[in-house]
Amino acid sequence: MSIKVRYFASLKEMTGRAEDQLDFSKSVTVKEIWYQANKDKTLPDNILAAVNMEYVSFDHRVNDGDEVAFFPPVTGG
């Protein structure tokens, strides 16, 4: 199962990456993806997650080909 992971704003700076391409042999949640991609980094408190550009909770299960994104609280407008 192939998953694209994207990071925005302060999370891009924190992880040092704009995106990851990960492979999983079994079904995983958004939270498991974070820890797989960022082994040494605790999931920051106020972080938001989206799958295919819709907001999801961290126990949302992803499907093959999904795009997962992690980012801080939004500050537009």
Partner 1 sequence: MDIKILAESFDPWQEIKQYQNSAKKIKGKVGATSIFVGTMRDFNEGDIIKAMTLEHYPHMTEKQLANIIEEAMQKWQIIDALVVHRVGNIFPDDPIVLVAVWSSHRGDAFDSSRYIMEALKAKAPFWKKELLASDDERWVGKNSDGYESRSR
Question: Interface with partner 1 by CB under 8 A: which residues?
Answer: 6, 8-10, 46, 50, 53-55, 69, 71-77
Question: Measured from the CB atom, is 4 or 27 closer to partner 1?
Answer: 4
Minimum distance from CB of 44 to partner 1 (Å)? 12
CB contact at 8 A, 31 and 67: no
Instruction: Give dist(CA 19, CA 17) in Å, integer.
Output: 6
Burial class (CB in 10 A: 0-12, 13-18, 19+), 30: buried
Minimal distance in Å, beta carbon 37 to partner 1? 17
User: Smallest gap, in angstroms, from Cβ of residue 13 to partner 1?
Assistant: 8
